[in-house]
Structure 1
Amino acid sequence: MDWFEQSLVRLVKSPHKAWLETLPRQLHDFLSKPHGDFRKWQRVLKQLPDINTEQQPTASLGDTVGIGPAELASDSDRARMRGLLKQLQPWRKGPFELFGLNIDTEWRSDWKWQRVAPHLDSLSGQQVLDVGCGSGYHLWRMLEAGAEDVWGVDPGELFLTQFQAIKQYMPASIADRAHFFPVGIEAMPELKSFDTVFSMGVLYHRRSPLEFLQQLKGLLKAGGQLVLETIVVAGDETTVMMPGERYAQMRNVWFLPSAKALAVWMQRLGFKDIKVVDHNVTSLDEQRSTDWMQGESLKDFLDADDPSLTVEGYQAPIRAILTARV
């Protein structure tokens, strides 16, 4: 439990301590039955160079989440770090920079944050949860925005490993306030304790989107804010599309409502002050293949002759951001 010990101690003193009724057992089960590559990924982390010997690193939590300065690492340190971290591909959410080594991720997640940030309440002093946090890029941005503690949940073992790779170099004053647990939202109790809950890029993967929205609602304290980002389609309050076996080459896409229909769903579930604050067509510059994610990306999922359509003939991805209160 070494990976989670500090976070569990922090949880004891937090408003979410009821989570301790279920979480330790779930973490024990996770560690006792790891994914086939998880042990290999752990070994990668242990081999990363220890470069914090004489001077503590500094962190920049801006558009590129960076740790430096570059002078703390030698060229051989960077070469070793690059070779090891490349074993943790694909790197999807970022970008990151470690002592001059740039990790150019598939997604320019900073662009999403730039769309989200103007519509947030102040996160200063808040307890913030990110459901489906991926590699944790946005957790660092939430700390930059003033959050007291950020809690990420995502069952992806590779994402957890990537998060730990960044966290282990972070100054303790920052790292001790960032937490990642490899569980899904369905394994969480109804805590009603978070000031702000984020869910970005998850809703369309859920077979029961209304149940998922209800679960998000159950994690917020009274007056708390939900920030929801998801793929939508054009249409009115009654428009919902259920694609066939694949959408943009993704197998696990279930329901794609219009932003207006999604707002109706949220209203029916008891959310208040619902606002559609952003509507954005995903560009080929925001999601693309890189040296750190060498597989297919958005351009491969769109019709080569008409990029307004997916390869299956559906409307190309539009992403909306909605905010609401409980």
Structure 2
Amino acid sequence: MLTEVLRELGSEPWLSKGLPQAFGDGAIARSCQLLDGMRQSGHALLAQMEQLLGARQAAGPQGNSGAASFEGDSTAPGLPHLKASGALAFPPAARDILTGLKPWRKGPFMFGDVYVDTEWRSDWKWDRIAGQIAPLAGRRVLDVGCGSGYHLWRMLLEGADLGVGVEPFLVSTAQFYLCRGLVGSPPPRVGVLPLTLEELPPNSQCFDTVFSMGVLYHQRSPFDHLFQLKAALAPQGELVLETLIIPQEYGQILVPRDRYAKMRNVWFIPSLDELLHWVRRAGFVREAVLDITPTTLQEQRSTPWMTFESLEDFLDPQDPSRTVEGYPAPLRASLRAERN
């Protein structure tokens, strides 16, 4: 199911016109190869995700009637929602499919009358940067670690010519393709590949804006990540980077002994000055800090759509300015920089 969706994506004209043919062919081929290998090995999660997406396809043609589209909501700014005229574009059976695709981490979304209250208020993150980056109208955009694709929809609503996300977690990829499948024909100029940044064709230099939000601190080699981001950018393209930082008084870099906020895969958390040094050292220019914000319990929390532990469980109950491990609580910086 996912393999067929990706092959269809590769044949859509917006992808071949907007990006080098070798990039599109290589990325789609690698994605299909990965999924085929997982399927042959009996990967249980892939089978579950494909069963759910197949159930959505069998639920009826309403979502493909051409009457549905993702749009911004004037009554709730920042909430991409499925709008329909005429027949209901979101069949009742699809609610069970949404539930089967838990946990929903990045959002929120509105599907018909179903509000998906995700773990993260990703709209808040977007609002902090949207007015400070290069206008996205007409640009080719890459979102690294895009999750459910929430920010990709926001980018399209801002006028991006095309959006490509990379997201190796299958649940998140399936969430995106459920959203995309609910939109009418022609399909939107957006797709998600079940890959990491490293698995994309190298040195493509084909995106006008590249987003890396909440990814850098998961990298064992942050410099490799920055160089790979730069290699995906067209000349004079813009990087939008959001990551954890430590307070300046704490030092230059935090390397957690084991876990940070219960996350085992956190490797380096720099100070703001150190982060800017990394960006310059990787060859970016005209860098600018857009925002520095502590993560709050209102922005990241457990919900009926994500019932596992969240930020409240990651902080010291006696001192919420510290994680349970005793490190400074999450503080996030957003910045922009250009490829020279």
Category of TM-score, reference length = shorter chain: over 0.9
Distance 1:244-1:70 versus aligned 2 partners, 3 A rule: farther
Residue identity matched to 1:170 = V
Q: Is the contact made by 1:106 and 1:293 (CA closer than 8 Å) also made in structure 2?
A: yes
Once residues 294 and 72 of structure 1 are traced to their aligned partners in structure 2, the CA distance between those partners, rounded to angstroms, is 33
Q: Which of 85, 90, 94 is 2:107 aligned to?
A: 94
Once residues 115 and 196 of structure 1 are traced to their aligned partners in structure 2, the CA distance between those partners, rounded to angstroms, is 17
- TM-fit CA distance, 1:17: 2.2
Match of 1:207 in 2: 220
Once residues 119 and 236 of structure 1 are traced to their aligned partners in structure 2, the CA distance between those partners, rounded to angstroms, is 27
Q: Is the contact made by 2:64 and 2:182 (CA closer than 8 Å) also made in structure 1?
A: no
Aligned ranges 1:239-318 → 2 under 5 Å: 239-318=252-331
* CA-to-aligned-CA distance 1:13-54 (integer Å, 9 cap, x gap): 223323146324312322212342111111112222323477
Residue identity matched to 1:68 = K
- SS of equivalent residue, structure 2 residue 195: coil
Once residues 86 and 105 of structure 1 are traced to their aligned partners in structure 2, the CA distance between those partners, rounded to angstroms, is 12
Residue identity matched to 2:198 = E
Match of 2:50 in 1: 42
Once residues 190 and 172 of structure 1 are traced to their aligned partners in structure 2, the CA distance between those partners, rounded to angstroms, is 33
Q: Is the contact made by 1:238 and 1:261 (CA closer than 8 Å) also made in structure 2?
A: no
RMSD between aligned residues: 2.0
Match of 2:164 in 1: 151
Match of 1:183 in 2: 195
- Normalized against structure 1, the TM-score is what? 0.93
- TM-fit CA distance, 1:100: 0.6
Aligned ranges 1:70-85 → 2 under 5 Å: 72-73=87-88, 77-78=91-92, 80-85=93-98
* CA-to-aligned-CA distance 1:168-210 (integer Å, 9 cap, x gap): 011334x330111111111121101110000000000000001
Q: Which of 56, 59, 74 is 2:70 aligned to?
A: 59
- SS of equivalent residue, structure 1 residue 151: strand
Q: Tell me if 1:232 matches 2:245.
A: yes
Q: Which of 25, 31, 37 is 1:27 aligned to?
A: 31
Distance 1:145-1:259 versus aligned 2 partners, 3 A rule: same
Q: Is the contact made by 1:70 and 1:99 (CA closer than 8 Å) also made in structure 2?
A: no
Residue identity matched to 2:190 = A
- SS of equivalent residue, structure 2 residue 18: coil
Match of 1:5 in 2: 7
Distance 1:130-1:55 versus aligned 2 partners, 3 A rule: closer
Residue identity matched to 2:296 = S
Identity of aligned residues (%): 41
- SS of equivalent residue, structure 2 residue 210: strand
Distance 1:47-1:182 versus aligned 2 partners, 3 A rule: same
Kindly tell me the number of residue pairs found equivalent between the two proteins. Answer: 323
Residue identity matched to 2:81 = G
Q: Is the contact made by 2:173 and 2:194 (CA closer than 8 Å) also made in structure 1?
A: yes
Match of 1:194 in 2: 207
Once residues 160 and 209 of structure 2 are traced to their aligned partners in structure 1, the CA distance between those partners, rounded to angstroms, is 10
Residue identity matched to 1:109 = S
Match of 2:83 in 1: 68
Distance 1:103-1:72 versus aligned 2 partners, 3 A rule: farther
Residue identity matched to 1:232 = I
4+ residue runs of structure 1 moved beyond 6 angstroms? none
Distance 1:71-1:251 versus aligned 2 partners, 3 A rule: farther
* CA-to-aligned-CA distance 1:253-287 (integer Å, 9 cap, x gap): 00000122111111112100011110000010000
Once residues 171 and 74 of structure 1 are traced to their aligned partners in structure 2, the CA distance between those partners, rounded to angstroms, is 9
Unaligned runs of 5+ in 1: none
- Normalized against structure 2, the TM-score is what? 0.90
* CA-to-aligned-CA distance 1:74-101 (integer Å, 9 cap, x gap): 99x43x3222211111000001111111
- SS of equivalent residue, structure 1 residue 276: strand
Once residues 311 and 73 of structure 1 are traced to their aligned partners in structure 2, the CA distance between those partners, rounded to angstroms, is 46
- SS of equivalent residue, structure 2 residue 118: coil
- TM-fit CA distance, 1:244: 1.5
Residue identity matched to 2:234 = K
